[in-house]
Structure 1
Amino acid sequence: MHGFSVSLLLGSTFIAGLFSSVAYGQNVWWLAMLNNTPLIQFQQKLQQSGDWYQCDSQAGVNAYCLDDFKYYQQHLYGELTLRQDEIHLSFLTDYQAQTLSELILNLRKDGLVLSNMVIEKEQFDVVNALKEESPTQVDKDLIFFINRYPQDAERHLDWRLADEFDSPSPRIKVRLLSDGEMIELKIIRL
């Protein structure tokens, strides 16, 4: 992400009008995850979509796999576990600097904002920084923080929906992990 200068915080705060019909034409379950669809209805959309297939089952937990989730231009392998009160999604792809940058931009397109970032064990807490500085200054400080490290440095980025940014218990938690070899996008939907 070295040299990356696009604003990470001052993204859009709405979701519905931002979805690309190309990216989401077949992924109704993704739209349902990001909007206020109740969890039980979201689970039904997942099961009815036909995209996921059961790949494991353990005591009370069903696991499903998705061989190719096209998230905008990226092709990701997905795993999902259904629990009574939450859903865990994990998407994987090989590391490429451009893929990481595009995933960051696409999360922003979908109405998510960065809440915390750790690169090589150094943390930038966006939530706390915004209590002290303006969003414009925090955005500049965050870009400076990111640019101190090589693109393939180990990092994790925590995201929330913009309208849940200040919520103590957001309904969706997103973590983007990269270690220079793999990229993983983890999502917990409550």
Structure 2
Amino acid sequence: MRWFTAFIALVAFNVSANTLTLSSHPDTLAQNIRSSWQECDEQTWCEDKLAYYRGSYVAEATISQSSLEIELLSEFSTHQLSQLQLNLRSDGFSLQSVEVMGERFDISQQSSQHSVSEINASLVQFINRYPQTVARQLAWQSELWDAELISDGEIISLRFMSRD
């Protein structure tokens, strides 16, 4: 419920639309955020209508000297959750682990014991054991970013953290 309150509060801002693309270096992206988003606190910028692929999100970015963290928020829908996973793959992210209702599927741990096709089949079976509306956390990684996709059946949060 806390996320939903934050989501509604951020929607109240009136800021021009932007598009998030993760192809540029985090330092370049941080400069673009500073120049086009609304500063909402010290080292924090907000955007009330940010496009990431075809979805529209409320966003908050925290920029420090050594890191950039961007969080996208939206209302939950199974379609939105699926689209975000496809978008992450399109941006070169690979899934590292999935946690659903306290159970964890660690892909790197599985890769030392099983083939890619076996891991994919086991992962699909693991995910399909639970309705998409139950709380889940998916950890992703790319060359420049770590990402955390969290869903609780009400709100979806996608957090990008620049890698050192």
TM-score (normalizing by structure 1): 0.72
Q: SS in structure 1 opposite 2:112?
A: helix
Query: Given the alignment of the two structures, is residue 45 of structure 1 paired with residue 32 of structure 2, yes or no?
Result: yes
Counterpart residue number, 2:39? 54
Counterpart residue number, 2:127? 146
The structure 2 residue matched to 1:156, chosen from 133, 137, 141, is 137
Q: How far did 1:55 drift?
A: 0.6
CA distance in 2, matches of 1:130, 1:34: 27
Unaligned runs of at least 5 residues, structure 1: 1-25, 165-170
Q: How far did 1:34 drift?
A: 3.8
Counterpart residue number, 1:17? none
CA distance in 1, matches of 2:30, 2:87: 23
Within a 5 Å distance, the mapping from 1:124-143 to structure 2 comes to 124-143=105-124
Unaligned runs of at least 5 residues, structure 2: 1-17
CA distance in 1, matches of 2:158, 2:107: 19
Q: SS in structure 2 opposite 1:136?
A: helix
Q: How far did 1:126 drift?
A: 0.5
TM-score (normalizing by structure 2): 0.83
Q: How far did 1:41 drift?
A: 3.2
- Number of equivalenced pairs: 146
Q: How far did 1:93 drift?
A: 0.4
Percent identity, aligned pairs only, is 31
Q: SS in structure 2 opposite 1:132?
A: coil
Structure with bigger RCO (C-alpha 8 Å, 6+ apart):
1
CA distance in 1, matches of 2:73, 2:87: 15
Counterpart residue number, 2:159? 186
Counterpart residue number, 1:175? 148
The structure 1 residue matched to 2:44, chosen from 50, 56, 63, is 63
Question: Which digits, 9 at most, give the CA deviation of each residue in 1:88-119, with x for residues without a partner?
Answer: 11110011111101111111111111000000
Query: Given the alignment of the two structures, is residue 93 of structure 1 paired with residue 80 of structure 2, yes or no?
Result: no
Q: Which amino acid aligns with 2:153?
A: G
Counterpart residue number, 1:103? 84
